[in-house]
């Protein structure tokens, strides 16, 4: 068991084998055990289905299950440790194969593959090279120089179409054995967004938001945006019960079924973005002179971050996500703060979760997506789905304001605000649903947060 004080998450990095993980409640740490939110009569069948899906998941991502390759000392064999890559159904030369420092009457080496076939471009007889075009190639000669010439021209051919796989080849010479990987990978096409010849901010960034019953807030937000960015496109996803027309220039307003949900709305809005980046904001935010989108663009253009958050009235809401993997399931720990500062940007850091005001690469964000099963209160779940995919930063010097939360005295607005709060409140039923979802979807045993 990996038990440690929850205030010290360094236990996640101890050099010790772990078959299980734990979340321990102490102090101000919130702990959620996922099985507690599953109906006891369903737990056995649900777990069985989950594990079958998990097995399929591993099959889909073979690169995550590579065999460990360690180069043994003092071998007479020279071979590539990594970096050998071939496209599916293509042929490559394998670099670096060589036999060193051996003195033998007859030199014999054997190369074996699993997912492809082996050959050599050297024009020699079958007595010297056998097994051409098969998964096992044998070279036998009394001439060391000839042997190494043949090895320099050994080819590997991928014989099955696979998007991503690793073939672990074996290279043998008498009692010496080496293993090295050949990666089979289908290259993907780049997806580029044209920023325009002038690289105006409106050609680089689209503002996206989701609204529900709060048109008075939305209109104030749009007015504040136009004060600083008169030409930028705004996309609004709307699942209000009685939609109102948003008749504003350069605003795209998409109507959804009533109460369709928070993440479904995010997906819809982001799906319509045609620029390199999108800025996500809530419908009750307020642009000020400190809401400098250009600064966030500068960060993403100057780093390999996928998204960067700002500050909402001084609140940066930064969390580290620390994943502890066990054999039966995993544990996820939320720890407030960040990993380290972002080089070249003194007001920015690298973290896992940011506030609900961020600039993101459109393509990478679509790759993760927003789970439409989460209809009401949800935010961190997007970053959970993006763990290991999204590289996230946060900058404290780009600030957006929050509109006044004082209840309205206008009767119609008061009624709408009350109705909105009924949907906004995170009920226990919704909490239970989310935790049960994490149990299956993310194969989580528990998570802790502080």
pLDDT tens for each residue of 338-394: 999 999 999 999 999 999 999 999 999 999 999 999 987 788 999 999 999 999 999
State the CB neighbour count (10 A cutoff) for residue 291: 24
- Please give the biggest Cα pair distance in the chain: 100
Q: What pLDDT, on a 0 to 100 scale, did the predictor assign at position 409?
A: 59
Which of 343, 365, 366 lies closest to 354, judged by CA?
365
* 1 confidence band (pLDDT: 50, 70, 90): very low
How far CA 341 is from CA of 246, 307, 353, 387, 391, in Å, comes to 41, 15, 15, 19, 13
* 208 confidence band (pLDDT: 50, 70, 90): very high
First to last CA, the chain: 21
Segment among 143-147, 241-245, 341-345 with least mean pLDDT: 241-245
Q: What pLDDT, on a 0 to 100 scale, did the predictor assign at position 194?
A: 86
Q: What is the mean pLDDT of the chain?
A: 88
Q: What pLDDT, on a 0 to 100 scale, did the predictor assign at position 419?
A: 64
pLDDT average, residue stretch 417-428 = 69
Q: What pLDDT, on a 0 to 100 scale, did the predictor assign at position 424?
A: 66
Segment among 124-128, 196-200, 238-242, 421-425 with least mean pLDDT: 421-425
pLDDT at 2 over 50: no
Report the topology of domain 210-449.
Answer: Spore Coat Polysaccharide Biosynthesis Protein SpsA; Chain A (3.90.550)
pLDDT at 6 over 50: no
Q: What pLDDT, on a 0 to 100 scale, did the predictor assign at position 3?
A: 41
Q: What pLDDT, on a 0 to 100 scale, did the predictor assign at position 7?
A: 46
Q: Going edge to edge, which strands form the sheet with 30-33?
A: 30-33, 444-449, 330-336, 319-325
**Nearest-angstrom CA–CA distance, 310 and 317:** 9
pLDDT in tens, 64-115: 455 666 666 667 999 998 899 999 999 999 999 999 887 889 999 999 999 9
Q: What pLDDT, on a 0 to 100 scale, did the predictor assign at position 60?
A: 65
State the CB neighbour count (10 A cutoff) for residue 58: 10
């Amino acid at each position: 068991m990996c038990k440690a004080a929850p205030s010290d998450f360094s236990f996640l990095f101890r050099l010790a084998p772990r078959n299980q993980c734990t979340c321990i409640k102490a102090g101000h740490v919130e702990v959620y055990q996922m099985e507690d939110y599953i109906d006891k009569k369903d737990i056995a069948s649900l777990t069985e289905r989950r594990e079958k899906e998990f097995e399929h998941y591993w099959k889909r991502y073979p690169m995550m299950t590579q065999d460990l390759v360690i180069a043994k000392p003092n071998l007479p064999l020279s071979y590539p440790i990594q970096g050998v890559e071939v496209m599916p159904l293509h042929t490559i030369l394998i670099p670096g194969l060589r036999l060193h420092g051996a003195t033998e009457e007859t030199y014999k080496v054997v190369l074996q593959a699993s997912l492809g076939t082996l050959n050599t471009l050297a024009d020699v007889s079958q007595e010297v090279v056998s097994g051409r075009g098969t998964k096992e190639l044998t070279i036998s000669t009394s001439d060391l120089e000839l042997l190494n010439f043949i090895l320099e021209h050994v080819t590997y051919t991928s014989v099955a179409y696979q998007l991503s796989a690793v073939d672990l080849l074996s290279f043998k010479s008498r009692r010496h054995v080496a293993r090295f990987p050949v990666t089979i990978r289908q290259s993907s096409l780049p997806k580029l967004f044209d920023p325009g010849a002038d690289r105006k901010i409106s050609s680089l960034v689209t503002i996206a938001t989701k609204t529900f019953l709060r048109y008075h807030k939305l209109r104030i937000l749009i007015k504040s945006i136009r004060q600083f960015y008169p030409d930028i496109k705004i996309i609004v996803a709307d699942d209000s019960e009685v939609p109102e027309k948003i008749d504003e220039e350069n605003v795209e307003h998409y109507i959804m079924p009533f109460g369709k949900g928070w993440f479904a709305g995010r997906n819809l809005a982001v799906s319509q973005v045609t620029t390199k980046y999108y800025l996500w904001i809530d419908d009750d935010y307020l642009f000020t002179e400190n809401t400098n989108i250009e600064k966030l663009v500068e960060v993403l253009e100057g780093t390999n971050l996928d998204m960067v958050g700002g500050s909402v009235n001084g609140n940066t809401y930064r969390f580290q996500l620390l994943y502890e993997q066990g054999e039966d399931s995993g544990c996820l720990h939320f720890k407030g703060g960040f990993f380290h500062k972002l080089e070249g940007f003194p007001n920015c850091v690298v973290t896992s979760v940011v506030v609900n005001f961020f600039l993101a690469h459109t393509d990478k964000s679509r790759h993760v997506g927003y789970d439409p099963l989460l209809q009401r209160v949800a935010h961190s779940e997007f970053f959970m789905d993006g763990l290991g995919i999204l590289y996230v930063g946060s900058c404290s010097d780009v600030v957006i304001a929050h509109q006044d939360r004082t209840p309205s005295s206008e009767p119609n607005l008061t009624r709408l605000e009350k109705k909105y709060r009924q949907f906004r409140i995170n009920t226990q039923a919704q909490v239970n649903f989310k935790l049960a979802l994490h149990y299956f979807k993310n194969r989580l045993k528990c998570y802790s947060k502080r």
